[in-house]
């Protein structure tokens, strides 16, 4: 009999939540165009607006401030632009400052020319260097336009939580805009766009148990908005043209609703599982390096280096044991390369690191199986200095 697979790569994508699956199946019978005024169209429009309210509730935002996109990458490219409008008046947002540990969707700079972007350093603990942020913003030339700062709330590789409340105070003091990538935070931290002090939040459906193909850009208000990335029929109040992907959006809404309803139980359970996993890994390999253990992390993520085992080799070894995990982030078409996050933290990235991430359907038996696989792989590795 074939060995059962064990999925421990929830930060890459989440299995579809049962509530999202049911919502998508029901929505498949709703064939009208949501922008049509007849009854069939109005039914789909009502379902989309229901999903908008559910996603807004996930972030403490006004539903009117949720713009649906095809995913977080599109949302990032939409908001990372020097061209904004304050009502009908053009406003320049001349320079983008982003942390050194951002996802490539942000690190690429969106619609900013490379010369108009700057990287903010992080500490060895993987936390944004607030002193560097202050220095960069103090040197910003306000005559060219406002500064924009993009910082993820939770790092996708390490699970480390960034001090967004402090970041927002610094950005506001310098008259800038703050964009927060909350893709890995949604469902794992309680989100409130106003409490965070963020001007915009980026979300992804498939990271919280919704279908792929939907995301959102959530704004704190409607007065200052970026120039649209996609032009056409003027859907999403003119901010994002194109007929809405109703199936994905409705599933996204259901997943968001489940994330809010299950928040406490889900995170309590996952935290206990992650702690037991790390204890078992340390018992099998006392020299393991687990990143972020001394700081604030979301409860589902373990990012580790096992001396004597290269990340690529480890990922393949776990896969052969029936365990799916990642060597860093899953954002480069399956390529396994050096982690820019480890580099930014001042670690030697050549050995690399592996990421285990858990989710709402992870069980105690899964943790037992993961520890057993880890123990076998750790016992087979070469001595330090002779990495496989």
pLDDT in tens, 287-339: 999 999 988 999 999 999 999 999 999 999 999 999 999 986 544 445 556 78
Q: State how far the alpha carbon of 9 is from the alpha carbons of 108, 184, 187, 258, in Å.
A: 24, 12, 16, 20
Instruction: Examine the pLDDT at 384 and tell me if it is beyond 70.
Output: no
% of the chain with per-residue pLDDT over 70: 95
> Quick one: average pLDDT of 126-153?
97
Question: Domains in the chain, please, with CATH?
Answer: 6-15+263-380 (3.90.1150.10), 21-261 (3.40.640.10)
3-7, 84-88, 92-96, 139-143, range with the lowest pLDDT: 3-7
CA distance 353 to 343: 11
Instruction: Examine the pLDDT at 158 and tell me if it is beyond 50.
Output: yes
CA distance 219 to 89: 18
Interval 183-203: pLDDT, tens: 999 999 999 999 999 999 999
**Residue 377: partners with Cβ closer than 8 Å, 6 or more residues away:** 306, 309, 314, 317, 318, 321
43-57, 213-227, 239-253, 315-329, range with the lowest pLDDT: 315-329
Known catalytic residue: 130?
A: no
Predicted TM-score of the model (pTM): 0.94
Determine the pLDDT at residue 383: 61
- Out of 121, 289, 316, 331, the active site residue is 331
- The alpha carbon of residue 221 and the mean position of all alpha carbons in its chain are separated, in whole angstroms, by 22
More confident residue, 54 or 1: 54
Q: Are 373 and 9 in contact (CB under 8 A)?
A: no
Instruction: Examine the pLDDT at 388 and tell me if it is beyond 50.
Output: no
CA distance 353 to 93: 36
Q: Are 179 and 80 in contact (CB under 8 A)?
A: yes
Determine the pLDDT at residue 350: 78
């Amino acid at each position: 009999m074939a060995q059962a697979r064990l999925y421990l790569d929830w930060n890459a994508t989440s299995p579809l939540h049962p509530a999202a699956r049911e919502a998508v199946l029901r929505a498949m019978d709703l064939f009208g165009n949501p922008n049509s005024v007849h009854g069939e169209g109005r039914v789909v429009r009502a379902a989309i607006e229901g999903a908008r309210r559910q996603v807004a509730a996930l972030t403490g935002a006004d539903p009117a401030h949720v713009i649906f996109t095809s995913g977080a990458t599109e949302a990032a490219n939409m908001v990372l632009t020097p061209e904004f409008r304050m009502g009908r008046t053009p406003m320049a947002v001349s320079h983008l400052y982003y942390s050194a540990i951002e996802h490539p969707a942000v690190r690429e700079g969106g619609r900013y020319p490379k010369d108009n972007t700057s990287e903010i350093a992080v500490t060895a603990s993987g936390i944004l260097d607030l002193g560097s942020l202050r220095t960069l913003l103090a040197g910003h030339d306000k005559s060219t336009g406002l500064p924009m700062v993009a910082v993820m709330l939770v790092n996708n590789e390490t699970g480390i939580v960034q001090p967004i409340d402090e970041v927002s105070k610094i950005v506001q003091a310098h008259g800038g805009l703050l964009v927060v990538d909350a893709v890995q935070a949604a469902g794992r931290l309680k989100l409130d766009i106003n409490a965070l002090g963020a001007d915009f939040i980026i979300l992804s459906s498939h990271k919280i148990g919704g279908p792929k193909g939907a995301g959102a850009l959530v704004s704190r208000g409607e007065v200052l908005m970026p120039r649209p990335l996609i032009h056409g029929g003027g859907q999403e109040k003119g901010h994002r043209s194109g007929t809405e992907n109703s199936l994905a959006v409705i599933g996204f809404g259901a997943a968001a609703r489940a994330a809010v309803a299950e928040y406490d139980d889900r995170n309590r359970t996952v935290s206990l599982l992650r702690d037991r996993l790390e204890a078992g890994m340390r018992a099998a390999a006392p020299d393991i390096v687990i990143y972020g253990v001394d700081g604030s992390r979301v409860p589902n993520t373990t990012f580790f280096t096992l001396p004597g085992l290269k990340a690529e080799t480890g990922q393949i070894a776990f896969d052969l044991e029936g365990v799916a995990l990642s060597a860093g982030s899953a954002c480069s078409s399956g390529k396994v390369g050096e982690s820019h996050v480890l580099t930014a933290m001042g670690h030697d990235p050549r050995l690399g690191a592996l990421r285990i991430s858990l989710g709402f359907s992870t069980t105690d038996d899964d943790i037992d199986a993961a520890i057993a696989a880890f123990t076998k792989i750790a016992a087979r590795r070469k001595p330090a200095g002779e990495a496989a």
